[in-house]
Amino acid sequence: MQHTRQFYIDGQWVDPLDQGEANTLDVIDPSTATAFEQIALGSAADVDRAVAAAKRAFPAYSETTIAQRIDLLQAILDVYRKRYDDMVHAISREMGAPLQYANDAQAWTGVAHLETMIRTLDTFDFESMKNGILIRKEAVGVCGLITPWNWPALQITTKVAPALAAGCTMVLKPSELAPLSGLIFAEILDEAGVPAGVFNLVNGEGRTVGEAMSRHPDIDMMSFTGSTRAGVQVAKAAADTVKRVHQELGGKSANLILEDADLKQAVMRGARACFDNSGQSCDAPTRMFVPRAREAEALAYAKEAAEALKVGPASAAGTDLGPVISEVQFDKIQRLIGVGMEEGATLVAGGVGRPDGLKDGYFVRPTVFGKVTPDMTIAREEIFGPVLSILAYDSEDEAIAMANDSLYGLAGYIQSGSIEHARAVARRLRTGTIYLNYADYNPDAPFGGFKQSGNGREYGEFGLEDFLEIKGVVGYEG
């Protein structure tokens, strides 16, 4: 790639202020555990440059018309489609998604959310009257956007698109583990004609660039997606400047398979949903609750689902699951699989170590644990790998109580032969997004969490709302 050692600031590709070799980072292909590219790492001074550009651009861009912003988003979508294959291959190489999955799911979400934001903006009411008061929704200002490595195109578009739609200007820090898709996205916005300073990108680590963005007095809002631990750090750093902090954090999502569900279908689809993206999704259904009387059946079905999956390099034909992102993540998953065994859970499938025949790369065996109890580490801690915990329940009330007994509340899944039954249970779950009977992904649905899964919402009108301030003009009618 042409711009890997540069940043995109004020409409130009620029060199970092400090170009020393110490300020570069290898980009690792997790399928081989070897470096294939190198990026520049930014500093607080680079953040200052980017924020200054965004601040200069804000007055003019925030006053653009809705029609102008729709045209801009459409131009971005058109160029994104033109660069689609580039995005697919970058995502697959940098974070290990199998090529077919990168094409059908990972890169596709960028198209889906750009299309959704264009449609949302076309019908959104920025002004309304209430009891003689003008209620006006205006851009929050300069925004700092920090995105993770596990769904790069998804997370970038679900922050950049609503920020642009709202009239905000921004500085983006993609994950340093999967930065190439972010650089391609910056090239897309440049070709689409985004005005200088409206969108800026600085690569770097959280402890430097992320910290500088969170503390910066001229950034009005931080939008962060990542771990709960890192989200807490962003919020603390942002507190002194009383900026808005929008967070989409960790999850330990429950999948309730009710008595009246088709058990085989529910278990096998639920296991596959847990393992998709090598388990590296914050909303993955990693806790499966099954009726105790049918626990043995459920474990057999989950074992079948896990052992049917082919784990291999992202570029290999027929690969279902690629590697996890890094050695650090691989080691964490291996440790937690070991903890599950030590704490007395029954290993049904998978286990520690790489799959047979895979000596290099960060490959994890799809793992299923049975006889899991709510107090076990694997039932409480976000593993972020292809590890499924199956818990048995004696009553529906007990299942709901166990599902809600978590620090997290990002997503929930309910399987039932009766939609009315599923709806009733959904009302009792303390979680931000609930999928009934494995409903299809919907980019209009609000996405975000209860409890330590964060605050605020993304997607569609809900994501747009979070980049807006509310102004009341009293006496407007005279």
Residues belonging to the active site: 248, 282
384: phi > 0 → left, psi -120 to 50 → alpha, else beta; which?
left
Residue among 457, 443, 468, 462 nearest 115 (CA): 443
DSSP for 75-117, written as a single string: HHHHHHHHTHHHHHHHHHHHH---HHHIIIIIHHHHHHHHHHH
Nearest Cα neighbor of 156 from 114, 191, 122 is 114
3-state secondary structure string across 129-183: EECCEEEEEEECCEEEEECCCCCHHHHHHHHHHHHHHHCCEEEEECCCCCCHHHH
- Residue ranges in 290-394 assigned as alpha helix (H): 295-307, 327-342, 377-380
- Are 88 and 102 spatial neighbours (Cβ–Cβ below 8 Å)? yes
Token code pair at residue 214 = 């969170």
Q: Residue 30 is encoded by which pair of tokens? A: 């997790």
What are the tokens at 280?
A: 């590296």
Counting beta carbons within 10 angstroms of the beta carbon of residue 240, is it exposed (0 to 12), middle (13 to 18) or buried (19 or more)? Answer: exposed
Pairing mode, strands 450-451 and 408-409: antiparallel
Q: Which long-range contacts (CB under 8 A, 24 or more apart) does 348-351 make?
A: 348/299, 348/302, 348/303, 348/306, 348/390, 349/302, 349/303, 349/306, 349/307, 350/306, 350/386, 350/387
